[in-house]
Amino acid sequence: MKATVFASTLATSLAISTAALAADEAPGGDAGTLNKDKAGEAFKKRPYSPYADRSFPARPFFGDTHLHTGFSMDAGAFGCRLNPRDAYRFARGEQIIASSGQPAKLSRPLDFLVVADHSDNMGFFPDLFAGKPEVLSPPMGRKWYDMIQAGKGGEAALDIIGQFSQGTFPKELMYMPGTRAYRGAWQETVAAAEHYNDPGRFTAFIGYEWTSLDKGNNLHRNVVFRDNADKAMQVEPFTCYPPLGSTNPIELWKWMDAYEKKTGGSVLALAHNGNLSNGTMFPITEAFGKAIDREYVEARAKWERLYEATQMKGDGESHPFLSPNDEFADYELWDKGNLDGSEAKKKEMLEFEYTRSALKNGLKLEAKLGTNPYKFGLVGSSDAHTGIASFEEDNFFGKTTPQEPSAHRMTAAFMDNPKTGVKIMDWEVVSSGYAAVWAQENTRASIFDAMYRKETYATTGSRMTVRFFGGWDFEAADANSREPAVIGYSKGVPMGGDLYEAPAGKSPSFLVGAMKDPLSGNLDRIQVIKGWLDAKGDVQEKVYDVAWSGDRKPGADAKVPSVGSTVDVANATWSNTIGAPELITVWKDPEFDAKQRAFYYVRVIEIPTPRWTAYDAKRFGVKPLPGTRMTTTERAYTSPIWFNPAK
């Protein structure tokens, strides 16, 4: 009875209100009478300037979330003498002298940088190089020092890394949290970030790399602080050696939780490119001897907001074995073994190392456990161990100091493990990549918050601009706007967002657009990659060409033909006479099922351009080894947009 009376009263009130408004009057109240004129004064129209009062991110900020300096023991052993302050100076656009003695400068400054030196033994190598008595007194410390002085720093580095990865590093030489030496290295790391942080112009994040190695399998995570020194200095980095540390990421997440509770601050983690983890980066059944359960998936989803999809040690988006119908999956692969080459790669490991397969398996885990642990955004970064965040193809300063520009770096071996046959050449090192972040301003808080909400994308070294929005009401005319973000944010969600509960009869539509890097190649195409969980509980994927340059027509297989190439390898040049400076479209999923979990992300591919190896061959007059890749197709990968059948 009450419901009926309420409904009747509501209907009557609405009728009265409609009649009153029609007469240009509104019912009176405590505040007086509301009419159209007064209402118009209360709700101002948008300003004439389309850029005024803008409340959404208007530009991407480009940076590196994974750079090492001489404070990392392996970087130092390889000859890096640059420290965190040098790294920030270079990233801000200053010219510096590399450890190899060469002047180095970026074509354009970066917007932000995380110096992510290794957590374990942070600051050890500068002390070893300086010959401090406490480092030289143990026999192994003296041995490594003598090797370095004899010009065998590379051999010393491999021995150091090998012993650390296999758990045989001398305990008496470990720089552990709580010691004066370790505390000093962390204090200087934080002080350098504080000194060079310039809100509004350049962001220097405080961070480190948690260096978990499980018998050579790479499970590293980069830890980034939103906070300043007052909070970051209340702790020291979490390490891997017991009893203070652990190689289990669950323990890292506990450390992160304790940090936030202790300081009131904020921190997030980015999993390292997983292609050297030998199938352990993205487990689906168990990790470290324990079954994947609700606690694991919830903690991983909470703390690991982003994933490093591409870097110098190979691209990690997908693999031809996993995506045989994707002609662009065979890109800069490192699929021979784990980090130290102690175990060769097996095909069955690949599924648990690559971005796309992790995103798909995350849907399965969500259906089973209620949370998707692999619901991460995407970034690229370098993992350079030189202190130099320079990965433009014509300005590439290598992975380590011995790989800085020289006539021999194209023909040397990066890794050669005779016991397993795992061998990687220096020419296989990739000049990659960038973390692109859609933030409102260049500050720690704004960029961190954008990373936390996953409004990010990865590039392999180009600074192309990429937009990606998903919703239910985008239409073809929206792609004609010169302000697509206004439409995108008003009608949908950006990359990293979620769509829920499809309206009856509707399929999700996506507004996607990209503009070229002014210093790089034109754009070949934009693709949408979809992954979904079908009715049988199996994961599926499909790659759609949605926008492309020129008048090419898709073939019977729905694939757009090759854009061709203008690269002159011998002269390391190309012309932008093919491709397009920008591409934009609205695409609607033609095979949508409102009952099935799904994700969508965008891949933008440039036309072929010279690879760093082509520039080196031209500059140094070096003949490449057979099989050396001499061209590249730079690309970007956006964070996904997820569809969830029920909120």
pLDDT beyond 50 at 141: yes
Cα gap 241→171, rounded to integer Å: 9
In the block, tokens 């969508």 appear at 600
Judge whether 455 lies within some domain.
no
Q: In whole numbers, what is the pLDDT of the chain averaged over residues?
A: 92
Please check whether residues 631 and 516 belong to one and the same domain: yes
Please check whether residues 168 and 209 belong to one and the same domain: no
Judge whether 50 lies within some domain.
no
Cβ-contact 385, 75 below 8 angstroms: yes
pLDDT beyond 60 at 18: no
Domain closes at, from 435, 456, 475: 435
Judge whether 558 lies within some domain.
yes
The tokens for 71 are 């404070």
Please check whether residues 36 and 69 belong to one and the same domain: no
Please check whether residues 38 and 64 belong to one and the same domain: no
pLDDT tens track for 319-349: 999 999 999 999 999 999 999 899 999 999 9
Q: What is the pLDDT of residue 104?
A: 98
Please check whether residues 512 and 594 belong to one and the same domain: yes
Cα gap 643→647, rounded to integer Å: 10
Judge whether 54 lies within some domain.
no
Q: What is the pLDDT of residue 16?
A: 35
Cα gap 560→552, rounded to integer Å: 7
Q: Per-residue confidence at 39, pLDDT binned at 50, 70, 90?
A: low
Percentage of the chain modeled with pLDDT above 90? 81
Please check whether residues 404 and 329 belong to one and the same domain: yes
Q: Per-residue confidence at 156, pLDDT binned at 50, 70, 90?
A: confident
Cα gap 299→365, rounded to integer Å: 13
Please check whether residues 207 and 224 belong to one and the same domain: yes
What is the separation of C-alpha 446 from the centre of its chain, rounded to a whole number of angstroms?
A: 17
Judge whether 132 lies within some domain.
no
Percentage of the chain modeled with pLDDT above 70? 94
Cα gap 575→347, rounded to integer Å: 39
* Cα-based angle 81, 86, 87 (whole degrees, multiple of 5): 100
pLDDT beyond 70 at 7: no
CA quadruple 349, 355, 360, 363: dihedral positive or negative? positive
Judge whether 458 lies within some domain.
no
In the block, tokens 């995570």 appear at 221
pLDDT tens track for 370-409: 999 999 999 999 999 999 999 999 999 999 999 999 999 9
Please check whether residues 165 and 190 belong to one and the same domain: no
Please check whether residues 391 and 266 belong to one and the same domain: yes
Domain range holding 151? 142-173
> Which string of b and e fits 373-412 if b means at least 16 CB within 10 Å?
bbbbbbbbbbbbbbbbbbbbbbbbbbbbbbbbbbeebbee
Domain closes at, from 416, 435, 454: 435
Cα gap 239→175, rounded to integer Å: 10
pLDDT beyond 90 at 45: no
When comparing pLDDT for 554 and 241, which is higher?
A: 554
Please check whether residues 165 and 186 belong to one and the same domain: no
Cα gap 351→357, rounded to integer Å: 6
Q: Per-residue confidence at 647, pLDDT binned at 50, 70, 90?
A: low
pLDDT tens track for 567-588: 999 999 999 999 999 999 999 9
Judge whether 351 lies within some domain.
yes
Cα gap 380→457, rounded to integer Å: 7
Q: What is the pLDDT of residue 44?
A: 67
Please check whether residues 584 and 524 belong to one and the same domain: yes
> Which string of b and e fits 13-26 if b means at least 16 CB within 10 Å?
eeeeeeebeeeeeb
What is the separation of C-alpha 561 from the centre of its chain, rounded to a whole number of angstroms?
A: 29
Please check whether residues 324 and 215 belong to one and the same domain: yes
Q: What is the mean pLDDT of residues 592-621?
A: 98
In total, how many domains does the chain have?
4
Judge whether 337 lies within some domain.
yes
Cβ-contact 352, 281 below 8 angstroms: yes
Q: What is the pLDDT of residue 151?
A: 83
